[in-house]
Amino acid sequence: MKIIPAIDLQGGKCVRLFQGDFAQATEYSSNPVEIARQFASLSTTDLHLVDLDGARSGTQENRSIVKSIAGESSLSIQLGGGIRSLEVLSKWFDCGVARCVIGSLAITEPEEVMSWIARFGAERIVLALDVNIDGRGTPVVTTHGWTRASNKTLFDCLDEYRATGLEYVLCTDVSRDGAMVGPNMQLYRRIMERYPDLQLQASGGVRNIGDLETLRKIGVPAAITGRALLEGKILATEIATFQQSA
């Protein structure tokens, strides 16, 4: 299982939000490029970048930082946040970004996103499907920075995109994000049982290397972690040992 470090960008700084709330941001560094260098020294191959300002405004307000990281990092970069047009998508690929992460648009404009998958290939597009678990235990997809509930369940959406050859899905249980309470193992187990070939990226709640071990045991191909790495809850030596035992 891949461990994918995450850097969230806001106002040119590396931050983490609590459950996606912009009013509850914790700053970890004023130098995200240096954080990316530190993550590149780990036994990892990928890096997850989110332009939080872009997610809000629809414009890449941290473009220069992303370009700097993509230009010098040895890691495979996947980028999300405000990517809402074919033009923007193409520019990021030209800048060296390996995969672009598409969130709300995957729900509100599915035909458009499907055309991007057909154009660039399923290996270049990651669907970010953020969910709230309703009273019946059903994962319902949220949009627009987790502020709006859609009328689609997670499984509705995945079934709809299967015909495109969809490979990568980043799934976050909103209630777990930034909360350090552990991932929603039941949710990820259900996804892998239903879509065993999906390149699922589990996101939200990872506290320690034990959580990563559990995700690997249930067959999750990759897990994203930000806060636990930034706060030293997961150590470089633990990551190296984890990868060696894969």
| CA–CA distance, 76 with 121 (Å, rounded to integer) | 16
Catalytic residue among 51, 53, 130, 173: 130
8 an active-site residue?
yes
- Is the domain spanning 2-244 CATH 3.20.20.70? The answer is yes
> Buried b / exposed e across 25-56, counting CB within 10 Å, b at 16+?
beebeeebbebbeebbebebebbbbbbbbbbe
For residue 117, the tally of other CB atoms under 10 A from its CB is 22
**116-136 per-position pLDDT tens digit:** 999 999 999 999 999 998 889
pLDDT over 90 for what percent of the chain? 71
Mean pLDDT, the chain, integer: 91
How far, in Å, CA of 59 to CA of 124, rounded? 20
The whole-number pLDDT of residue 21 equals 66
Model pLDDT for residues 198-238, shown as the tens digit of each residue:
999 999 899 999 999 999 999 999 999 999 999 999 999 99
Sketch the domain layout of the chain as residue ranges. Answer: 2-244
